[in-house]
Amino acid sequence: MSTPRYDAVIVGAGHNGLVAACYLARAGLRVRMLERRAVVGGAAVTEEFHPGFRNSVAAYTVSLLQPKVMRELRLAAHGLRIVERPFSNFLPLSDSAYLKVGGGLETAQRELARFSARDAERLPAYWATIERVADVLRALVLECPPNVGGGLLDVMRAWRAGRLARRLDIEARRDLLELFTKSAAEMLERWFESDGIKAAFGFDAVVGNFASPFHPGTAYVLLHHSFGEVNGKRGVWGHALGGMGAISEALAAEARRLGVEITCQAPVARVLTRGGHAAGVALEDGSEITAARVLANVNPKLLYLQLVDRSALPNQFLERMRRYKCVSASFRMNVALSALPRFACLPEPGAHHATGIIFAPSLEYLDRAYIDARAAGISRTPVVEMVISSTLDDSLAPKGAHVASLFCQHFAPQLPGGRSWDEAKPEAIERIFEVIEQRAPGFRASVIAHTALSPADLERDFGLTGGDIFHGALTLDQLWSARPLLGYADYRGPIAGLYLCGSGAHPGGGVTGAPGHNCAREVLRDLRRRFAI
């Protein structure tokens, strides 16, 4: 057999692939990256969508990016700067009422006390409960999950994970169990009585999750969005100056500095295997690139059902992978605005414009949006989060104008009656705009231009199977040792030398860098074993 041209080839130059490439190159490996699109970054990219207006195209906000990754890969040295929101969220509840969440405990309590003194009193205990459990998750994010039925190393991994849980007192363990199994609504209704605060926290349970907050398991998705930090401050959300593409460009700069060869507009057609071992990739143009190992920064369903010869995979594995759930029902828009929205409840410019603005006043509203989409494919009154990134970064729009990211739920990937998303997009856009117009009259008149990505667009443009931003639903059967499948949670698959380094592996979705970091560590561990024999 001829000598492979590279020690590793990585399919997909999204942020996790870039992270993996950096760590492998730091260890001295020859690394080649192949990206289907014309730019690196996958869904974490910044593009001009109207003359003078730039914005993050798909991923749009920062919190979960791992500090260890940022530090070790020198992202600040490559120009990355992240600024914090003044507080977490702003909810325009009606024409006269609004709720601000965040800005410190005392500020949040004063705000919440306008609706419920009881809720304000309980808020510190709620946040403390979430924080205790989130601490366990933070400690596990950069760990490799144990494979069920694995060897001694997997036993040790399971022991370490169990030791973290054992540090919790019995009440905290009960909270941990509830957060992994119960619905967000059941948990929140135990804590709070006012609709606004339940909606604010419940929103995190349906972000990228095609579910009602009343569904069991949604409490975990809420928790998944709670273990991040910005600039050392836990539970804070922020904005990358220059948009999310600034993260990818900083990673790419470090990768190139380390000698990684990055090729864009190089779509991979299939993974090559020889003797049951990954041997490189074939591109759509027919050329082949040989490598000692292949890392895939793509949805596991896409990898195993489209890029790998199915005859090389066990039948039971294939059948399970066909059932792997990929659906987040998200619709993503960028909007160029001539002016800031004037909310009926709080019309003048202020810090609320620089937060995550949530159009969803109650858990029941979140539930109806899901039920509508299940029945008709498109919610009559969608759930909308607006982030006006130009309030924190004036490089994104002309002076006096603004850009807004709209991240919207629920829009089914497959519409009933054989209707196509190309046909349905105008209707979806109109419903999204109507939700905003009701709380911010005059919004439509301020729209200069907009772009829209339906679930079908997210799949076609970014390879997000089913439009799933997380590379697979964050349900209990697809987490930790079961992500993507039991027995294959350690970033390896049924084919030797083929690794999964994207969000379909632990710890799941979001711009974290964790799957890429963890996968690279396992590749290097295998390499050390090989030379130790």
Q: What is the reported pLDDT for 228?
A: 73
CB 226 within 8 A of CB 204: yes
Strands (DSSP E) along 16-141, which ranges?
A: 31-34, 46-50, 53-56, 82-84, 89-92, 98-101
Structure tokens at 98: 């609004």
- Residues 251 and 311 occupy one common structural domain: yes
Highest mean pLDDT among 176-185, 332-341, 479-488: 332-341
Structure tokens at 293: 């190992």
Contacts of 530 (CB under 8 A, 6+ apart): none
Place of tokens 């003194």: 117
Q: What is the reported pLDDT for 160?
A: 65
Task: Give domain status of residue 408, yes or no.
Answer: yes
* Residue 12: CATH number of its domain: 3.50.50.60
Task: Give domain status of residue 414, yes or no.
Answer: yes
- Residues 477 and 502 occupy one common structural domain: yes
Domain count across the chain: 3
- Residues 475 and 402 occupy one common structural domain: no
The three-state (H, E, C) secondary structure of 383-426, written as one string: EEEEECHHHCCCCCCCCCCEEEEEEEEEECCCCHHHCCHHHHHH
Q: Which is nearest to 62 in space by CA: 200, 246, 190, 197?
A: 246
Q: What is the mean pLDDT of residues 132-137?
A: 85
Task: Give domain status of residue 424, yes or no.
Answer: yes
Work out whether strand 8-11 and strand 31-34 pair parallel, antiparallel, or are unpaired: parallel
Task: Give domain status of residue 1, yes or no.
Answer: no
- Residues 247 and 319 occupy one common structural domain: yes
301-322 pLDDT tens trace: 999 999 999 999 999 999 999 9
In angstroms, the CA 298 to CA 491 distance is 12
Question: Which of 411, 430, 465 is the endpoint of a domain?
Answer: 465
Q: What is the reported pLDDT for 168?
A: 76
Task: Give domain status of residue 168, yes or no.
Answer: yes
- Residues 320 and 341 occupy one common structural domain: no
Q: What is the mean pLDDT of residues 184-198?
A: 95
- Residues 99 and 197 occupy one common structural domain: yes
- Mean pLDDT, rounded, of the chain: 93
Task: Give domain status of residue 385, yes or no.
Answer: yes
- Residues 407 and 369 occupy one common structural domain: yes
Question: Which of 236, 252, 285 is the endpoint of a domain?
Answer: 236
Q: Which is nearest to 288 in space by CA: 42, 502, 460, 34?
A: 34
Provide the total of helices (H) and of strands (E) in the chain, helices listed first.
17, 21
The domain of 200 spans: 86-236
Question: Which of 433, 465, 497 is the endpoint of a domain?
Answer: 465
pLDDT of 533 > 90? The answer is no
- As to burial, measured by CB atoms within 10 angstroms (0-12 exposed, 13-18 middle, 19+ buried), residue 86 is middle
- Residues 28 and 78 occupy one common structural domain: yes
Confidence label for 236 from pLDDT (cuts 50, 70 and 90):
confident
- Residues 105 and 223 occupy one common structural domain: yes
27-69 pLDDT tens trace: 999 999 999 999 999 999 999 999 999 999 999 988 889 999 9
Q: What is the mean pLDDT of residues 195-209?
A: 94
417-451 pLDDT tens trace: 989 999 999 999 999 999 999 999 999 999 999 99
- Residues 226 and 351 occupy one common structural domain: no
Higher pLDDT, 160 or 434: 434
pLDDT of 1 > 50? The answer is no
Its pTM stands at 0.94
Task: Give domain status of residue 54, yes or no.
Answer: yes
Task: Give domain status of residue 3, yes or no.
Answer: no
Confidence label for 476 from pLDDT (cuts 50, 70 and 90):
confident
- Residues 211 and 270 occupy one common structural domain: no
- Residues 296 and 308 occupy one common structural domain: yes
CA atoms within 13 A on the CB side of 37: 17
In angstroms, the CA 451 to CA 334 distance is 5
Q: What is the reported pLDDT for 19?
A: 98
In angstroms, the CA 315 to CA 43 distance is 32
